[in-house]
Structure 1
Amino acid sequence: MTDAAANPLLSPSPLPFDLPDYPRTRPEHYLPAFEQAFAAHRAEIEAIAASTEEPTFENTLVALERSGELLGRVARTFYTVSSADATAEIQEIDEQLAPLMAAHHDAVTLDARLYARVAAVHAQLNDLGLTGEDRYLVERTHREMTNAGAGLDEVDKTVLTELNQQLSVLTTTFEKNLLADTNELAVVFDDAAELDGLTDGELSAAARNAADRGLDGKFVVTLTLFTGHPYLSSLTSRASREKLMTASRSRGRRGNENDNRAVLTEIVRLRAERARVLGYDSHAAYVTADETAGSPEAVHALLRRLAVPAAENARQEQAALQEIIDRDGGGFDLAAHDWAFYTERVRAARYDLDRTALRPWFEAERVLVDGVFRAATDLYGITFTERPDLPAYHPEARVFEVRNEDGSHLGLYILDLYTRDSKRGGAWMNSILSQSALRGTAPIVVNNLNVPQPAPGSPTLLTLDEVTTLFHEFGHALHGLFATVTYPHFAGTAVFRDFVEFPSQVNEMWIFWPEILASYARHIDTDEPLPAEVVAKLRESEAFNQGFATSEYLAASWIDQAWHSLDVEDTASEIDVDSFEATALADIGLDNPAVPTRYSSTYFAHVFSGGYSAGYYSYIWSEVLDADTVEWFRENGGLTRANGDRFRDRLLGVGGAKDPLEAYRDFRGRDARIEPLLERRGLTG
């Protein structure tokens, strides 16, 4: 079905703001639309590459930016659905599509004629009088094509293309296996007593999950992407906590059809082989060469610097937790599934604080409207209006129109809050459409979370961690909304991977900003604000458990680096995943059984099916800039329109159209200092 009249993907959307016509789009529309979009893009590239005109900025670089509009539109429409509502039909399309997308990307990027034209423009760059975004477009396009292998001979290009196609299939398989195993391992409890400690809303969500699976009268707790489940801090039954943790850690390594061990080791092998073809010692060297870090050595130096004090802090926290167990006559050593529960006990004893009791103050709608949106309005002047007349890709996804202070249309924001079996784990932001002056487009951005959905009529009460996640992901959304560029190449969050987390982390600072907190953190029944003494205790206890939090994150970052620092010879023989992880964690001193890695390899979607391979370090790398920026806001009056305008204009609004560290220096007046990060995480001792 390729007729544009019958296939809504092949013609401009009739909906306002170019929102894709999801109500009319059916799974059978996608592959035909991709086929036509591939053909259209190939024709556009052929016209550029075969041109007999002398290569110029306009007829080569700008022409490249104009090409592929249909393919981009179809791809963003599909991949939004494949991540958030991956039915069996959509997963099958995704598997078929993966090698086709990889082959098409390589056909464009590795075209020798196209590369020669780009290289010719790049060679005369200093004579062209180009400045700003125009000049940077030439530099980045040439750099990215070179890094992708466009300068290789035809034999190596053939090898590279084959490797890329194999990897595209394997990463899709990894994601499919993980989703299936996560759903299969959802933990079934027969009796509500086993879930003692959960709130009524959490129990109703578990009962709803069970009913959806035909298990009326039982309770089902679905798994989060990361190792530690939020319910571990509340469940009073140690057996229930262990059951939940065991299920979480066993994903992708059970010897069944969803086992990811062979998949991930083959991904590692092929990535190492590809790196060698491209002239690098390892995949980590290949990735970091075109990031702000520059090299794996720079990443390893930072991770090792932080790991030693983090591990020591975690051991001190562990001793405090063991004291509680011993004092209660527990008669057991603290295990990984006990950590969160006894952390809350220590908080209660040391700070007279029970974080699990805070949920009535964090009703989801109020957090969104009076917290997340309110902070953005106060800082940037933008406003949000829900548009129930605009349909998204799923009935639970809500659409909001975003306007600038002067009333002009800025873009659309879509929030998809709740977990479901067809949605991949974790939380993320993606763009359905990005702003580009060249194409005359405005942004449409999406935030996905995985909050358990309570029974109808029950309020959605968030944990503090879920509040943090919402503010964090909205920081990505702001980046996607504010980026104001000419070329699609630099649109939205198209920045270096180890910079992209910076805006999202900065947005977390408004969670506890006094006027924002007072606005959204109000009791669901009484409308009383979160008591000032509780806020003070939360601040006082911020550094507690940072040893654990930093260690689990650094452990995952190091596992990512360890896998992707292997060269071809290292991957020639079979690798035992469990032994490899244990050796890697021991190497950096983060092999504490009570502090498991945030993601184990078999469910580490960020690096084996997402875009963070050899790049999971980027969160802590970006946090150096984040902590330094928070310091700047506090020094300059905090939540003011003037500060918001400066941050928007000099950082968020730049998109990828400028070197990110140069943009940061323009905003801050200097390079970032690491000291604020060390102080925040209690690593100065």
Structure 2
Amino acid sequence: MPAETTTSVTDLPADNPFARPSALPYGLPDFAAIRTQHLRPALDAGLAAQRQEWEAIAADPAAPDVANTLEALERSGQLLHRVATVFFTLVSAVGDEEVHAIDAEYAPRLAAHRDALWLDGRVFARLEHLHGSREELGLDAETDWLLTTYRKNFLRAGIRLDEEQQQRLRDVNAELVSLETTFSQRVVTALEHGAVHVPDAGALAGLDEGTLAGLARAAEERGAGTGYLLTLQLPTQQALLTQLQDRGMRDRLLQASQDRGTGVDADSDTRAALLRIARLRAERARLLGYEHHAAWVAEDGTAATTDAVNAMLRRLARPAARNAEAEAQDLQHLLDEDPQVPAGPTLAAADWAYYAERLRKERFAFDDSVLRPYLELDRVLHDGVFFAAGQLYGLTFHERTELRGYAEDVRVWEVREADGTGLGLFVGDYYARAGKRGGAWMNNLVDQSGLLGLAPVVLNNLNITPPPAGEPTLLTWDEVRTCFHEFGHALHGLFSDVRYPSLSGTAVPRDFVEFPSQVNEMWMTHPVVLERFARHHRTGEPLDEELRAAVLSLGSYGEGFATSEYLGAALLDQAWHQLSPEEVPEKPADVRGFEVDALERVGLARATVPPRYRSTYFNHTFGGGYDAGYYSYIWSEVLDADTVEWFRDDGARNGDGGLNREAGDRFRTALLSRGNSQDPLRSFRELRGRDAALKPLLQRRGLTD
């Protein structure tokens, strides 16, 4: 483990677990020793230590060189990074009141801390000196890219603004992070307060015994008393809508989902915060010389311009809406023929998932309730996700039960290369819990870095409903997809092979980061992989031919709805962030009207297909991270679909569909190992031999004419 470069670590008491690098394998944080009371002093010491390090760089009388400027910047902040990584993991995955209080307290301080670097003209002057001396310095490609990246980031952060403008920028940045924190916390509160309590099982016809037992357990554990608690998931659509036979119950559940953040519950009303966030982001963009916030974001991605983003989204909107209309007609027929529904109703948004599931059963013989007994979590992981990684990359996975996570059900595996060499750690947190934010995500607990001598420790989070005690964890097909997707991110982090920590793993542009994870989804339907993991949890029997055919026959069915709901959210994100400060609505009551107008302009204001996220619980964009960048998923899918075609054609050997070491190693070397050490599109071209084509995506989603 490399030595710390700061003396401020000694300001921490010796019994604070952050006072020194973790002694656990691969630097895994010592969660067993970490307590909430350790966080504030460690954050304070980390902030102070990095400020000292930055000051030493800025005031260094020696002429700037790679070691005293670039490498010094990369070495700085090791204590802060160590504690912040743990802290933000706890914010997302545990989220108790004290952790949320610390988050709210430190958000503006961390923003001011970042500004202390990006607005320091002395450090920028050293970078400018290096930039002007690039030819004489003879920099290697990665160091040259790092220098270019730092310089770009300083310029985008406002280094050339005058003193008054920089002060306003600092104020805006501090307020924004506080508001984003408030928004995120209220989204979590809305998930909890919006849960639907049902006193008896009569209204829950269609749910199997295992699901009912889980809902009863949720009611008991979350203090709702007797009965059943239908907890909410982050997206608009809720998984239980596919099974609930009672039309009124379906409507109640979907309404609870869409009402989140709208003021029906004062503690989780997000409207004032989101309006202020949109206005401040627009002001900051103008201050920095951009037309709007979306333009500032796009410039830093592979899209480069909002014109390119708008053109892509609008090109897809019309065929997606057309396909959704055709799907709606099919579902209306099923509703008309349903003997349990009085004659004459029109298909509603709450009906869509239910009748789409029935249509899948009738047309494709696909039934999630029949499939679930074959999708047990451990088998999906070991014989599906891990097996595919072994076939492609030679990896093996060894559970380290002696290593603790931050919650009781967090698990740790050591990942080894084919020759037995340790690669890093993979941490899995698969279950939902009170305080955990919705959705699924990956993050690093330790960033790989040759400079710092660090191997990666990566974390996957999902939100699977825990089963009753002693029962197996059975997944839906979509949850299996999420396991493969998030592990694609994990591979991107695990395979990182770069020198500089700020360029490590998934530290790529937003509209590129989803690409490797989406590619990894392809292996869930590979015949060899499917045969291994899709086995009955009691008998071990594989899927029979009818079920296997059903899984593989879906093709692009349902993509009209799926693409439309996704595009609805992506276009809302762009609509909010392509406003000037003066154009942002003033009143919270205006939020819903703004949404309707924005969706009508692109032909996606369909009542039966609400956006995947409405503005009031759109944590991707107003909680920070994917603001003006939710388009990234479809943008990355262009690269993904083209790469899947490469695996199945050029990468295949003897009809194996690309599931071989040669194809896997090439994908790893050309792309997964690169991190952000060069232009990501250059990495793609090195793999594919050309730029990405749109046709494979259009064919996959059934959007061709």
TM-score with structure 2 setting the length: 0.96
2:604 is matched with which residue?
A: 590
Residue 651 of structure 1 aligns to a residue in which SS? helix
The residue aligned with 2:90 is: 81
Task: Quote the Cα distance in structure 1 between the aligned partners of 2:676 and 2:45.
Answer: 29
Matched, 1:671 2:671: no
**Aligned residue for 1:639?**
659
Secondary structure of the equivalent of 2:32?
Answer: helix
| Residue 387 (structure 2) pairs with residue 387 (structure 1) | no
Q: 2 CA distance for matches of 1:213 and 1:327?
A: 39
Q: Classify the secondary structure of the residue corresponding to 1:431.
A: strand
Counterpart of 2:368 (choices 347, 355, 373) is 355
Structure 1 residue corresponding to 2:545, chosen from 532, 536, 542: 532
Q: Which amino acid aligns with 1:379?
A: L
Aligned-partner SS, 2:249? helix
- What residue number does 1:461 align with? 474
Give me the whole-angstrom Cα distance separating, in 1, the residues matched to 2:523 and 2:44: 45
Structure 1 letter corresponding to 2:484? F
Amino acid at match of 2:703: L
Q: Is the 8 A contact 1:362 1:522 kept in 2?
A: yes
Q: Does the alignment pair 1:311 with 2:321?
A: yes
In the alignment, what sits opposite 1:277?
287
Alpha-carbon separation, structure 2, partners of 1:240 and 1:631 = 43
1:394-439 per-position Cα deviation (integer Å, ceiling 9, x unaligned): 1111111111111111111111111011100110001110100100
Offset of 1:641 from its aligned partner? 0.4
Whether the 8 Å CA contact 2:145–2:677 is kept in 1: the answer is: yes
Residues 302 and 511, structure 2, Cα contact 8 Å, conserved in 1: yes
Q: Distance in 1 between matches of 2:398 and 2:137?
A: 45
Secondary structure of the residue aligned to 2:267 is coil
Match of 2:183 in 1: 174
CA shift digits 1:138-164 (9 cap, x unpaired): 111101111111222221111111100
Paired with 1:371 and 1:470, the residues of 2 have a C-alpha distance of 9
Q: Find 1:449's aligned residue among 458, 462, 467.
A: 462
CA deviation digits over 1:169-219, x for unaligned, max 9? 000000111111210111111112322222322222111101112345311
How far apart, in 2, do the equivalents of 1:413 and 1:613 lie? 28
Is 2:671 aligned against 1:651? yes
After alignment, is 151-160 or 407-416 more displaced? 151-160
1:580 matched to 2:580? The reply is no
Question: Which residue of structure 2 aligns with residue 47 of structure 1?
Answer: 56
Tell whether the 8 Å contact from 2:371 to 2:547 is kept in structure 1 after alignment: no
State the 1:526 CA deviation: 2.2
Gaps of at least 5 residues in structure 2 are 1-9, 653-657
> Aligned runs of 1:579-618 on 2, under 5 Å?
579-618=593-632
The corresponding residue for 1:546 is 559
1:69-218 mapped onto 2 (5 Å cutoff): 69-218=78-227
**639, 657, 681: which one aligns with 1:661:** 681
Shift of 1:573: 4.2
1:315-464 correspondence runs (5 A): 315-328=325-338, 330=341, 331=343, 332-464=345-477
For residues 52 and 476 of structure 1, the distance between their equivalents in structure 2, rounded to whole angstroms, comes to 42
Distance 1:531 1:142 in 2: 58
Distance between the aligned counterparts of 2:429 and 2:119, measured in 1? 37
Structure 2 partner of 1:265:
275
SS in 2 for 1:621: helix
Deviation sequence 1:538-564 (CA, Å, 0-9, x none): 332221110000000000000000000
Q: Which residue of 2 aligns with 1:508?
A: 521
Q: Give me the whole-angstrom Cα distance separating, in 1, the residues matched to 2:223 and 2:281.
A: 42
After TM superposition, the structure 1 stretch with the greater mean CA deviation from structure 2, 433-442 or 196-205, is 196-205
Q: 1:302 aligns with which of 309, 312, 316?
A: 312
Please say if residues 202 and 452 of structure 1, whose CA atoms lie closer than 8 Å, have aligned partners that are also in contact: no
Q: How many Å separate the matches in 1 of 2:135 and 2:279?
A: 41
Change (3 A) 1:238 1:573: closer
532-541 vs 36-45, which moves further: 532-541
- Residue 574 (structure 1) shift: 4.0
Shift of 1:2: 5.1
What's the secondary structure of 1:214's corresponding residue? coil
Moved more, 6-15 or 592-601: 6-15
Which residue of the partner structure matches residue 5 of structure 2? none
Counterpart in the other structure of 1:624: 638
Q: Which range moves more in the overlay, 189-198 or 159-168? A: 189-198
Q: Which residue of 1 aligns with 2:704?
A: 684
Matched, 1:221 2:230: yes
Secondary structure at the counterpart of residue 23 of structure 1: coil
Report what 1:474 is aligned to. Answer: 487
Give the letter aligned to residue 563 of structure 1. W
**AA at the equivalent of 2:287:** V
In structure 2, do the counterparts of structure 1 residues 198 and 453 end up closer, same or farther at CA, with 3 Å as the change threshold?
A: same
Post-superposition shift, 1:654?
A: 0.4
2:260 aligned with 1:248, yes or no? no
Relative to structure 1, the CA distance from residue 217 to residue 569 in structure 2 (aligned partners, 3 Å threshold; closer, same or farther) is closer
**Deviation, structure 1 residue 127:** 3.1
Distance 1:519 1:200 in 2: 27
Partner amino acid, structure 2, of 1:29: H
Cα contact 1:468–1:511 (8 A) shared by 2? yes
The answer on 1:62 being equivalent to 2:82 is no
4+ residue segments displaced more than 6 Å: none
Q: How does 1:8-19 map to 2 (within 5 A)?
A: 8-19=17-28
Cα distance in 2 for residues equivalent to 1:607 and 1:278 = 20
Aligned residue pairs, count: 685
Distance in 2 (alpha carbons) for counterparts of 1:139 and 1:201: 55
- What residue is the counterpart of 1:6 in the other structure? 15
What residue in structure 2 maps to residue 238 of structure 1?
A: 247
TM-score normalised over the length of structure 1: 0.98
1:572 deviates by: 7.2
- Secondary structure at the aligned position of 1:116 is classed as helix
Shift of residue 69, structure 1, vs aligned partner: 1.1
Taking the aligned partners of 2:135 and 2:230, their CA distance within structure 1 comes to: 60
Distance of 1:658 and 1:193 partners within structure 2 = 59
Q: CA deviation at 1:533?
A: 2.7
Aligned counterparts, 1:21-36, within 5 A: 21-36=30-45
Cα distance between partner residues in 1 of 2:586 and 2:476: 45
AA of the residue aligned to 2:165: D
Shift of residue 537 of structure 1?
Answer: 2.7
Q: Do the aligned partners of 1:115 and 1:151 also contact (CA within 8 Å) in 2? A: no
